[in-house]
Amino acid sequence: MRKNGPLLALSLGLVTVGGALSLLVQTNFGRVHIEDVRFPGPDGIIQNARLFVPDGITEENPAPGIVAIHGYINTHETQAGFAIEFARRGYVVLAVDQTGHGYSDPPSGANGFGGPPALEFLRTLGVVDPENVGLEGHSMGGWAVQAAAAAQPNGYRSIVLQGASVSARGDTSNGSAPLRNTSVVFSRFDEFSRSMWGVPIPTDIVGTERLKGFFGTEEDVVPGRIYGSIENGDARILHQPAVTHPGDHLSRAAIGHAVDWFQQTLDGGNDLPPSHQIWYWKEIGTLLALVGLVFLLLAVGGMLLETPWFEDLKGDPGRPKPAEGVGWWVAAAAFALLPVLTLFPFKDLASRIGLSSSTLFPQSITNQVVTWTTLVGLLSLVLFVFWHVTTNRKRGATVASYGLTPDNGVEWGRIGKSFLLALIIVSVGHLVAQVSAILFKSDFRFWVFAVRPLDSLHARIALSYAVPFIGFFLILSAILHGQLRRSGLTVPRETAVNLGLLVSGFVGLLVVQYLPLFLGGTMTVPSEPLWTIISFQFLPIMTIVALITTFFFRRTGMVYVGGFVCGLLVTWIVVASQATHVAM
């Protein structure tokens, strides 16, 4: 146990320091009070949110209020950069989990995506001036705040649509009230320009009839110019920061534009310049905590393997019998490229094979991920078995050569004990995540990738998805540490090789998609903006998988502990971060 002590201390130190930094930034170093709140909407749907109240704001001294709502398959913490900067300028902020997202009740999309109930709740707070409210929404959160504006046309003063288009509610063609003072922040490399504004190149939205009609002009809209009048409530402005759709969350410019608009359109607050920002220190803090969590899983697993109960799982990896020469490079290329080349076509098969959202499998995106990983796993297994039977068995390879059994055959008790060890490791990690969330009011994350505690609903949902994820990572581990294992590598070098095998395909996919977009064109496959963005999350996931599988394979000589830990961990990560589409 002693040799794992320093790693445990480092992991807990990173979790503590990162969490404390996150809390300090969220509270503006003690000058903003934050608390998690829940409020009811129609049909008894309860929504979760984080409330930011600056010092000195009371019912006797109310402040302007802002509702901030995230986009699809995110949570209120994705909007933390906006919420932190709004609160620092004296605004009361309600950062909301959309319905079916985070800890809000499902289904996703209910009650106007949660926008109308959020606005109604904010305006009932005694610390908020109900006649002095702003709305800010990113992506699908833009739909949510427009639904709120339609529900209460006189319940807000101004609105920021961040990475969103103007819905039918945003104009008067259907008889609805026009949006009040509106800032449209649509980035120069936004992946959704085609679906939101009808043009393939994001910067071309300035000439769309939709935007020109909303701005009340027959000429192309000029970014940075105010159209209409703030005093009359019909002001319009467009900004186009040089980032992508999810990049709005990491953009000082995008956040600054939102801050500036509310400073112009809401009464009260303070005059802290929009450029004076600190939110990124929270991102650094939660990233440190995320790294600490990964180290914690390794440290706890290493310590448990030294205990009398689990020490019989320890063992040295057998002599490798991998593919050799050109064959290894062919197998490596297939391993890296197969998941990437099948991602877009395979994920669409979920609905075709009947895996639509249901009470058993209630998350649409998770269903697509499971369909894709299951089919990739089965194809990989067929190729692996074919290679073994036709080639490697002749070289004397057995299933023991791939870390699947010891030399004396299958030991089901050993496999069962490996699963128990993995369950304890992941449970300890989850407990630390829960404690950190309570103490520091944040999850473990960077940008759009997050590891957040499961509530009772998501824990129940996770049971439905755990088996296929575990099966996939067991197959992946057997191939990685069997067919692709190299001889004579140190642990760091083997980890680096495995990391390259696991992430290189996804890096290539992102380069292929984004390079033409950044050069002024469109993505190579422009019909897949959502899943291109989702692909970013496979980079940290597969990095974690490389660390965990290599660590435990070298400690046990078998693929089971690492495969089970990865299967349980990825189930936790995916289910906790996805939208739930069926009422539970």
How is domain 33-277 classified at the architecture level of CATH? 3-Layer(aba) Sandwich (3.40)
Segment 270-294 shows an average pLDDT of 97
| Phi, psi dihedrals of residue 60, rounded to the nearest 5° | -80, -20
At residue 315, the pLDDT reads 86
At residue 4, the pLDDT reads 81
Dump the DSSP string for 187-204.
Answer: -TB-TTHHHHHS-SSGGG
Which residues are 162's β-sheet partners? 138, 185
At residue 251, the pLDDT reads 96
The DSSP bridge pattern shows strands 449-451 and 444-446 to be: antiparallel
Residue 26 has pLDDT above 80, yes or no: yes
Rounded to 5°, the CA angle 172-136-256 comes to 120
Give the separation between CA 278 and CA 479, rounded to whole angstroms. Answer: 45
At residue 408, the pLDDT reads 60
3-state per-residue secondary structure call for 291-326: HHHHHHHHHHHHHHCCCCCCHHHCCCCCCCCCCCCH
Segment 518-534 shows an average pLDDT of 95
At residue 404, the pLDDT reads 80
Segment 372-379 shows an average pLDDT of 96
Give the separation between CA 362 and CA 82, rounded to whole angstroms. Answer: 30
Residue 393 has pLDDT above 90, yes or no: no
pLDDT in tens, 190-222: 999 999 999 999 999 999 999 999 999 999 999
Percent of the chain with pLDDT over 70: 97
The residue with tokens 């791939």 is 402
Give the separation between CA 529 and CA 194, rounded to whole angstroms. Answer: 10
Is pLDDT larger for residue 400 or for residue 55? 55
The DSSP bridge pattern shows strands 46-54 and 32-40 to be: antiparallel
3-class secondary-structure state, position 151: helix
CB < 8 Å & 24+ apart, contacts of 201-208: 201/520, 201/521, 201/522, 202/240, 203/240, 203/520, 206/238
Q: Is the peptide bond before 107 cis (omega within 30 degrees of 0)?
A: yes
CA distances from 115 to 69, 147, 379, 416, 534 (A): 8, 6, 43, 47, 24
Lowest mean pLDDT among 173-177, 409-413, 522-526: 173-177
Q: What is the mean pLDDT of the chain?
A: 93
At residue 176, the pLDDT reads 61
Residue type for position 353: I
pLDDT-derived band at 284 (thresholds 50, 70, 90) equals very high
> Which among 129, 133, 130, 105 is positioned nearest to 49, based on CA atoms?
105
pLDDT-derived band at 91 (thresholds 50, 70, 90) equals very high
Q: Residue 171's CB: how many other CB atoms inside 10 A?
A: 14
What kind and span of H or E run contains 32?
Answer: strand 32-40
Residue 286 has pLDDT above 50, yes or no: yes
Segment 410-437 shows an average pLDDT of 94
Provide the terminal-to-terminal Cα distance of the chain, rounded to the nearest Å.
43
CB 256 within 8 A of CB 243: no
Number of Cα atoms under 13 Å in the Cβ half of residue 177: 17
Lowest mean pLDDT among 126-135, 267-276, 421-430, 485-494: 485-494
Q: Report the interhelical angle of 280-304 vs 5-26 (nearest 10°).
A: 160
At residue 1, the pLDDT reads 56
CB 390 within 8 A of CB 323: no
Is pLDDT larger for residue 328 or for residue 37? 37
CB 552 within 8 A of CB 304: no
Give the separation between CA 388 and CA 405, rounded to whole angstroms. Answer: 15
Residue length, the chain? 584
Domain boundaries defined on the chain: 33-277, 282-577
What kind and span of H or E run contains 239?
Answer: strand 236-239
pLDDT-derived band at 168 (thresholds 50, 70, 90) equals very low
CA dihedral 316, 321, 323, 326 (to 10 degrees): 100
At residue 173, the pLDDT reads 40
CB 295 within 8 A of CB 455: no
Segment 58-62 shows an average pLDDT of 94
